[in-house]
Amino acid sequence: MNISEDDYKLAKEAHVANCTGGSIHEINLVCASLVSSHMLWTSLAQASVISQDTFLPEFVIYVLPVLSCLTIASDYAPHITIAMATVAIFVFSSAKTKSTTTAAAKIAKETHSRFSVFSSTICQGGNFWDITGIYTAVGAGDSMSLNYRQMDVGVGSFVFSSGVVASRAYLSQEGGSFIKSMLKSMRSAFPILVLGFARFILTKSVNYQEHSSEYGLHWNFFFTLGFLPPFVTSLGFMRRFAPFSMIATMIAVGYQLALYKGLQGWILEAPRVDIISANKEGICSFIGYLSIFLFGLECGSIIFQDNLSTTKISKIFSIQQQAHIKQLVVHLFTFSAIMWSALGLWVSVFPENYVSRRMANLPYVLWIIAFNLTLLSCIVLVESCFQVKGRGPPMLDAVNINGLFTFLLANILTGTVNLSIRTLYANDAQSSLINAIYMWIVTMVPWILWRSFKIRIKF
């Protein structure tokens, strides 16, 4: 279509702003394919049908199904998920697998590798949806109804999984010097904040299409990630009096009360007259993401706990004598059921207070925690049934090891494609090809870095 660059930029921003989202049921169906993919790869690898050290089978099993469910085959997501799960169960039940001596606790502790990659995949899903514009879009403004977007759950899941992975480091710092812990957190935050400033400068210099209602005029997701470590460290002293989950709940509830008392109106309606109001969405939503990260830390502390037999949940369900990984499954499913119930109660009592990634309000926090606990529960359940050896699929392991770099690479590729091609007017065939190439690069680069050169890029 022959229109000017400025007109196309406005058309792209309008397309994003008018996105109405979908239902939570649709998102759950799409993400269920991730669990079925893991089942399928595990069964095929254990039956020696595929090699565990080959990139192509993992790309076909883990990437293409969810890519299809997000785009051209979105209407058939349940069929794809059920088909992969059926094949996995058939292969697993028919293969003559050898008994293993892998400790159940070790399997549970290694599960976070797969989980964090799945969360990153969801988040990257928003990026390649921005290329096609078929189902939803990146940076969509909030609708005034209870609708959901894949990118909404993606960024929240990225923060939650970061908390899960970081839990061992934060727990190991307990009792140490506060000054040393703060300096360490600031060192880890500095390069991420630099990336945030770099992204801001680059997007403004090339007149990249953005929607200010997402994070504000200057804020971006890298700033949110960068400020998390020092803030979490500053709250570390409260861990002596209450668990991370209690601290997170207090923060989320207090923030929601502030929204109810007028902060929400300021975020949605106040003019941008200074640096604070210009970035009101990013600054205020940080409180919700901080709560999500703390919930992730609590989840990680449960995953890496050596003994769950003494917990109240183990006593209530009388599972003290069960294997550690079975106890973990029960704990995660119980917590996910509590969160889903809390979200359902909120929706029924306060239907006008919609889930908002823009504000990262209490219902958004509940949704993110419920979703991720359910996804993690299913992954751990697969691990316990299929007895996965080692760190699992090498491609996911490679992406996990260079997780933030992969996320940055996905952002750069998305921007490159959007600046090179008028994706808003691409047809299905063009979009599918671009998506496939995009995800191939996003997964192949970390594969080469780690598998071939053992390079771990730290920020």
Q: Is residue 15 part of a domain?
A: yes
Phi, psi angle pair for 318, to nearest 5°: 55, 55
**342 has pLDDT over 50:** yes
Which residue would you say has higher pLDDT here, 63 or 135? 63
Total domain count for the chain? Answer: 1
Under the banding of pLDDT at 50, 70 and 90, the label for residue 273 is very high
- What pLDDT shows up at residue 428? 83
Residues contacting residue 301 through CB under 8 Å, at least 6 positions apart = 167, 171, 243, 244
Which pLDDT tens digit goes with each residue over 168-195?
A: 888 777 767 888 899 999 999 999 999 9
Instruction: Determine the average pLDDT of the residues in 134-145.
Output: 32
- The mean of the pLDDT values for the chain is 82
Would 459 be classed as within a structural domain? Answer: no
Residue 79 lies in a domain: yes
Among residues 368, 335, 334, which one has the least CA distance to residue 150?
368
Which pair of tokens denotes residue 359? Answer: 């504000």
Phi, psi at residue 22, to the nearest 5°?
Answer: -140, -170
The domain of 120 spans 5-452
97-106, 162-171, 249-258, 335-344: segment of lowest average pLDDT: 97-106
Q: Is residue 457 part of a domain?
A: no
User: How far is C-alpha 337 from the chain's CA centre?
Assistant: 19
pLDDT in tens, 8-24: 666 666 666 556 556 77
Predicted confidence at residue 146, as pLDDT, reads 38
In a domain, 458, yes or no: no
CB atoms within 10 A of CB 314: 18
Residue 165: is its pLDDT beyond 60?
Answer: yes
Residue 75 vs residues 70, 79, 110, 150, 172: alpha-carbon distances, Å: 9, 9, 34, 15, 46
Residue 136 lies in a domain: yes
- Phi, psi dihedral angles at 148 (to 5 degrees): -130, 155
Higher pLDDT, 129 or 458: 458
Q: Which of 66-70, 184-188, 220-224, 276-280 bottoms out in mean pLDDT, i.e. has the lowest?
A: 66-70
pLDDT at position 111 is 55
pTM listed for this prediction:
0.86
Count CA within 13 A, CB hemisphere, residue 178: 9
